[in-house]
Amino acid sequence: MLEKTFNVRHYEFNAQNILTPWGLQNFFQEAACLDADNLGFGFEALTPQHIAWVLTKLQISFSKPLKCKSVKVKTWVVGYTKITSRRDFIMYDQDGVELAKGTTEWVIIDLISRRLTRIPQFILDGHPSTPAEPAMEQNFLRAPSFEGQQPVNTCQIQTRLEDLDVNNHVNNQHFTSWSLQATPKEILDNKNITDLIVYFKKEISFGDTITANCYKSDEENAFWYTLTNQEGKEASIVFARFK
């Protein structure tokens, strides 16, 4: 397990003086990278072998609005299969009050072919021999069909150079921020996010034009989102609940 405290910088707050969900996601990602480095299967170990970790699923439950001066992240590997690795996390504010907890699933891709590959044995050897205690129960909701549905809101984003990460594709936190941009303004102005699920289905590259569509869920104050590229291919499906 790794524990790391991050100071929240002023430019990471939104107009309501609250840390954004994707800002919190960045802190988790950084802590996950540091822990992977410590365990011997981080960026420096994987890059010479032309492989990399890629996030495929993310689930976060927010305990309270993200009003905080600093964020303490606890993250650890829960378990694995030959294809996926599960990593969970819990986050606290400067007073030790829980902000959020979450669970993620990661896979390894070949950076040359850009295809999924089995997790190498040296990485599996660094995982716990028995599953660790999870931060929460996984509840990756099944996405409905959006065929024939009209979105309640939509927006377009042009991918920029600053959106790319070390793997030369759009960083995962942008999938969250771009999706939530399509949320109706009255929800963003009056509600706080309580739950977030992100499915990462396809890489987004520099120069792609992304359309974010927001669809009303059967639940009150809950929405589904799709991110599609200029070819109409789905890059991500997102679920968010507000209160």
Query: In the predicted model, is pLDDT for residue 16 greater than 90?
Result: no
CATH of the domain at 40: 3.10.129.10
Query: In the predicted model, is pLDDT for residue 125 greater than 90?
Result: yes
Query: In the predicted model, is pLDDT for residue 202 greater than 90?
Result: yes
Phi first, then psi: what are they for 185, rounded to 5°? -60, -35
Per-residue pLDDT tens for 41-54? 999 999 999 999 99
Q: Residue 236 belongs to what domain range? A: 153-242
Residues 70 and 173 in one domain: no
What is the pLDDT at residue 171? 94
The answer to whether residue 82 is domain-embedded is yes
The answer to whether residue 137 is domain-embedded is no
What is the pLDDT at residue 97? 98
The answer to whether residue 162 is domain-embedded is yes
Per-residue pLDDT tens for 69-86? 999 999 999 999 999 999
pTM over 0.85: yes
The backbone region for 168, taken as left when phi is positive above 0, alpha when psi lies in -120 to 50, beta otherwise, is: left
Give me the mean pLDDT over the 134-162 stretch: 95
The answer to whether residue 143 is domain-embedded is no
The answer to whether residue 45 is domain-embedded is yes
Residues 114 and 193 in one domain: no
The answer to whether residue 15 is domain-embedded is yes
* Torsion angle (degrees, nearest 10) of CA 57, 218, 211, 206: -10
The full DSSP string for 73-128 is EEEEEEEE-SS-EEEEEEEE-TTS-EEEEEEEEEEEEETTTTEEEPPPHHHHTTS-
Residues 106 and 167 in one domain: no
By CB atoms closer than 10 A (0-12, 13-18, 19+), residue 132 is: middle
Tally the domains of the chain: 2
Q: How confident is the model at residue 190 (pLDDT cuts 50, 70, 90)?
A: very high
Give me the mean pLDDT over the 14-31 stretch: 95
Residues 53 and 90 in one domain: yes
Residues 12 and 107 in one domain: yes
The answer to whether residue 133 is domain-embedded is no
